[in-house]
Amino acid sequence: MRIVLSNHIIRDKIPLLKAKGFLVTQSQIRDVILNPDHIDKESDYPKLIASKSFNKNHILRVVYKTEGGIIKAITVYPAEKGRYY
């Protein structure tokens, strides 16, 4: 399945997270979607939120939706481990 990252992720979130000390790559974002530790299907339905361990203290969460066989990643953000699951 094809994964498309939003302009918001590429232009805004990745540089912002880097400035805050979270070096997030497009490859890592795709990996969270394809191999999540947890998927939240209820909080922002019909969007899904995939989560995966990022470092010792944080998980990386990716909000996405599937349309016509394409996964569209909308935004990404780190969260403290234990906050969501």
Report the predicted TM-score, pTM, of the whole model to 2 decimal places: 0.93
pLDDT tens for each residue of 1-36: 899 999 999 999 999 999 999 999 999 999 999 999
Nearest of 21, 17, 19, 12 to residue 61 by alpha carbon: 17
Cβ contact 51:63 at 8 Å: no
Query: If you write DSSP's letter for every residue of 24-68 in order, what string do you get?
Result: --HHHHHHHHHS-SEEESSTTTTSEEEEEE-SSSEEEEEEEEEET
pLDDT tens for each residue of 49-75: 999 999 999 999 999 999 999 999 999
At residue 44, does pLDDT exceed 90? no
